[in-house]
Amino acid sequence: MIILGIETSCDETSIAIVDGRKVLANVIASQTLHQEYGGVVPEYASREHMRMIEPISRRVIDSTIKDLSKIDGIAVTYGPGLMGALLVGLSFGKGLAVALGKPFLAVNHVEAHIMANFIVHSDLDYPFLCLLVSGGHTMLVYVKSFGRYKILGTSVDDAAGEAFDKAARILGLGYPGGPIVDRLAKSGRKDFHVFPRARVKGNELNFSFSGLKTSLLYLVKRKGESWVQENLADLCASYQEAVVDMLLRNTFRAVEMVECDKLVLAGGVAANSRLREVFRRNAEDIGVKLYFPVLEYCTDNAAMVAFTGYEMLRKGITSPLDIPAVPALKFDSTE
Ligand code: KG4
Ligand code: ZN
């Protein structure tokens, strides 16, 4: 089954073609123009998607199936994300579905991040526990099967990726912050400064990252610019350690609680090298099998959208053409 995937929820224009689990093409154009603004400018993002979506689609089709009639379904992210950005991909996808007379598949971006793991791990099977960590979400999800989810914990304030991005902004490092902090932290001392590790009252599996960010902000204000510059790598390493520690603590508590022997990482922050390292070690210690996607499928990409569309179509789920873009689309427990 050949599915065309379209992802334009934020600042990546991505088009993919999958044949079941097999990715025939996955082109990702990352919009670099936002860097000078220190964050994504929604209007510019939409315009870039408009400029890129047609030529990228053409390139993907020409380098794979060549003939549009071979497509069995069109899968598009319809939320969560930026309204204008989502609308570009959604309208383009709907147009194609109508023109080709093929099923239209509206995909939840968060679900697609989790599904990305199936593209690279042929041995992965349900049920599993997933830590989903992206720029907008931090969630522990028990995945029973496709479409059957139980949210065990979630962030009560900032997402983990946001914690990285805000730290990078405070330290004057540019956007997106995660990869920059990750790189600088490699040569820094993790025990240079002990940042707070918040615990959330009520549900012990919930996360909170806003106090951590505030603590960095106060430290930077107190110590001054030149001190920050001298200790940049150490600050990144210590801050990253606090984020990873909190993710680790809750995730392995959840592993115990659900007694699951498969743990899956998903989302942009799953690209973090320190996170991968400590999760790998901890999983090994207790005999849990750890899965995470290769970098290309961690951050935003259309292959994960196409694969999710494939799973929908296999189950006979299709979407009406009047489905709107939903910027604040939820990803909730299904039972
Ligand atoms: O999944 P994603 O590409 O987009 C969303 O759906 O949000 O995640 C983007 C987030 C950004 O906050 C970015 O800083 C973070 O993932 N990120 C990282 C790394 N690479 C990307 N965070 C920490 N370490 C990384 N290596
Ligand atoms: Zn994403």
CATH number at residue 281: 3.30.420.40
Q: Is residue 120 part of a domain?
A: no
Residue 290: CA atoms inside 13 Å, Cβ hemisphere, count? Answer: 21
User: What integer is the mean pLDDT of 305-323?
Assistant: 98
Spell out the residues 6+ positions from residue 295 whose beta carbon is closer than 8 angstroms to its own. Answer: 271
Verify whether ligand 1 is closer than 6 Å to residue 269 (CB atom): yes
pTM of the model: 0.96
User: What integer is the mean pLDDT of 13-38?
Assistant: 94
Domains of the chain: total = 2
pLDDT band at 295 (very low <50, low <70, confident <90, very high): very high
CA of residue 165 to ligand 1 center, whole Å: 8
Q: Is residue 333 part of a domain?
A: no
Q: Is residue 232 part of a domain?
A: yes
Q: Is residue 319 part of a domain?
A: no
Q: Is residue 14 part of a domain?
A: yes
Are 305 and 284 contained in the same domain?
no
pLDDT for 30 equals: 92
Per-residue pLDDT of 128-169, as tens digits, reads: 999 999 999 999 999 999 999 999 999 999 999 999 999 999
Are 249 and 139 contained in the same domain?
yes
CA of residue 98 to ligand 1 center, whole Å: 34
Q: Is residue 325 part of a domain?
A: no
Q: Is residue 334 part of a domain?
A: no
User: What integer is the mean pLDDT of 307-332?
Assistant: 98
Verify whether ligand 1 is closer than 6 Å to residue 134 (CB atom): yes
CA of residue 238 to ligand 1 center, whole Å: 18
Are 49 and 168 contained in the same domain?
no
User: What integer is the mean pLDDT of 161-188?
Assistant: 96
Of 109 and 39, the one with more pLDDT:
109
Flag whether pLDDT at 36 surpasses 90. Answer: no
Are 202 and 264 contained in the same domain?
yes
Could you tell me the residue range of the domain that residue 270 belongs to? Answer: 126-295
Nearest-CA residue for atom 16 of ligand 1 = 268
pLDDT band at 178 (very low <50, low <70, confident <90, very high): very high
Are 271 and 156 contained in the same domain?
yes
pLDDT for 79 equals: 98
Are 140 and 195 contained in the same domain?
yes
Are 29 and 72 contained in the same domain?
yes
pLDDT for 175 equals: 86
User: CA-based Rg of the chain, rounded to a whole angstrom?
Assistant: 20
User: What integer is the mean pLDDT of 75-84?
Assistant: 98
Flag whether pLDDT at 335 surpasses 90. Answer: no
Q: Which backbone phi and psi does 120 adopt, to 5 degrees?
A: -105, -15
Are 85 and 148 contained in the same domain?
no
Flag whether pLDDT at 37 surpasses 90. Answer: no
